[in-house]
Amino acid sequence: MGGWPVKQFLLRQMGRFSIKGLGLVAQLGSLALVVEILGTDEFAIYAATLSVAAIVAQIIDAGFSRYSFRLIQQGRSYAPVIRWSIISKLVGLCLVLPFGIFTVVFLDLPMGLFLLALAGNLFLQLMSFSRYVLLVRRQVARCILLEVSAPILYFLSILPILVLLISGVVSRSDSFLFLVVWLYFLSFFLSFCFWTYSIGVIPAWKRGLHLGRINRLPLLAKGLVAVWKRSFWVGIEQMLSTGWYNLPVLLVQIFGGAAAVAAVALFQRLLNLIGAILSVTISSNLLEYYESGGAKVFRSRVAFVTGALTFSATLVCVSSYSGLAAYFHQLAPSATLFETLDQLAEWPIRLALATALFASFLQLSFVALGGDLRLQRCVAVGVGIFVLVAGVLAESSSGLSPVAVTLNSLIISQAAACVILLVVFRLVAQKIVAPPTNSDR
């Protein structure tokens, strides 16, 4: 009898990991399909456009999506949370959209694609409300299914394009860039609609969409300021993290060619997959992070182990690909994916270091989150962004390839951010355990 609960637990965890694994396969498959369908030049435009849209969407959100989880967890009514989320996004859109338009014009990117990608990111943020409702209801498996639903839908929607290309029904000379970004938007929009309906929160959305009469604007403005004060640090932290993640693509877009942008964008999306894999271990250790961080006992061993394992795994994968590259090119001589991977495979140690430091910082940042060190996290990421930009600008005329320059700067910036958090942990721990002085007695 005692073994049955353990068996149930294991089966439940296997089911959750299977769902997560399905989402990871869909993301990896979508990446390969998009690279192959668009080709180097259009994939570079696609990646740069999505990077700008992600940064702008995060600034618009101002941290309210994550802050809303606290409100839902505290038992607040759904409708007011939805109402303030919509108001916050509408005001943020009016304030931030000019910055996004300027950036798109400066980088010479298609405006229509940017607006579609931005809309997709905003629906992703709105879908987080359904995710938090499921978490509060302790429906973890459905929550994971929600997270992977849009990537799976995106993969299934673009798969027919590659089939048509291979069968010769459509020509490779045709441009599929707008169609691919349109399907990107549609996958998030349809996922948002499905989950809003399936978890039974449509009545709350109907009440939340009633924003009030125009003569209540002063009251709405006052409430909005109060909301932004509460979500300020969360918003700053998320904005900096999103900027740090997407900046390499935008920097290469400025001083590198399309091939370099495609290579860096491919590496960026591989980092995203690594982050998704690590989210499993982060979720399992999340309670420990909060318990240890609340007691100001910062355990950073997991970060070092994760970094070492990620370094080894990346090095093995890159070395294996380098050994089999000739065989892959024989199978598909004109495959854009393999041509782009070849650029990354030239720098195995740099790739391994960059992924290892990314994995370590991800773990350290959650340790800091457990200790409520939000300001310190923002400082670490801010320093990382500064070092990244300064490094790219300093080395852009060194004669190195844009990919190598970006990887060098990314490694130094991530190392700086990790060192800052480790120093903070040590200082805070020493302050807690410091013996009392005579004046204290």
Compute the chain's Rg from CA coordinates.
Answer: 23
pLDDT (tens digit per residue) in 293-317: 554 556 677 788 888 888 998 888 8
Tell me the HSE value of 166 on the side-chain side, using a 13 A CA sphere. Answer: 9
- pLDDT band with cut points at 50, 70 and 90 for residue 19: low
Alpha carbon distances (Å) from 211 to 85, 125, 225: 11, 19, 16
The answer on pLDDT for 172 being more than 70 is no
* pLDDT, mean over the chain: 79
What is the reported pLDDT for 327? 79
Residue 212 has pLDDT above 70, yes or no: no
- Band of the pLDDT at 362, cuts 50, 70, 90? confident
Tokens of 138: 């302790």
Q: What is the mean pLDDT of residues 101-115?
A: 91
What pLDDT, on a 0 to 100 scale, did the predictor assign at position 328? 75
pLDDT for 171 equals 72
| 230-261 confidence digits (pLDDT tens) | 777 777 877 888 888 888 888 888 877 778 88
Q: Say whether pTM exceeds 0.85.
A: no
pLDDT surpassing 80 at residue 169: no
Residue 441: band (very low, low, confident or very high) from pLDDT cuts 50, 70, 90: very low
Interatomic CA distance for residues 283 and 271, integer angstroms:
18
The answer for residues whose C-beta is within 8 angstroms of residue 244's C-beta and 6 or more apart is: 381, 384, 385, 388, 413
Select the more confidently predicted residue: 288 or 430.
Answer: 430
Question: What does the DSSP 8-state code read for residue 400?
Answer: S
pLDDT tens for each residue of 183-196: 999 999 999 999 88
List, as one string, the DSSP characters of 316-352: HHHHHHHHHHHHHHHH-TT-HHHHHHHHHHT-HHHHH
Tokens 């001589």, residue located:
333
At residue 439, the pLDDT reads 45
- Only one residue has tokens 């409430």, namely 223
pLDDT band at 214 (very low <50, low <70, confident <90, very high): very low
Q: How far apart are CA 248 and CA 409, in angstroms?
A: 9
pLDDT digits (tens, 9 = 90+) for 53-73: 999 998 888 877 777 777 777
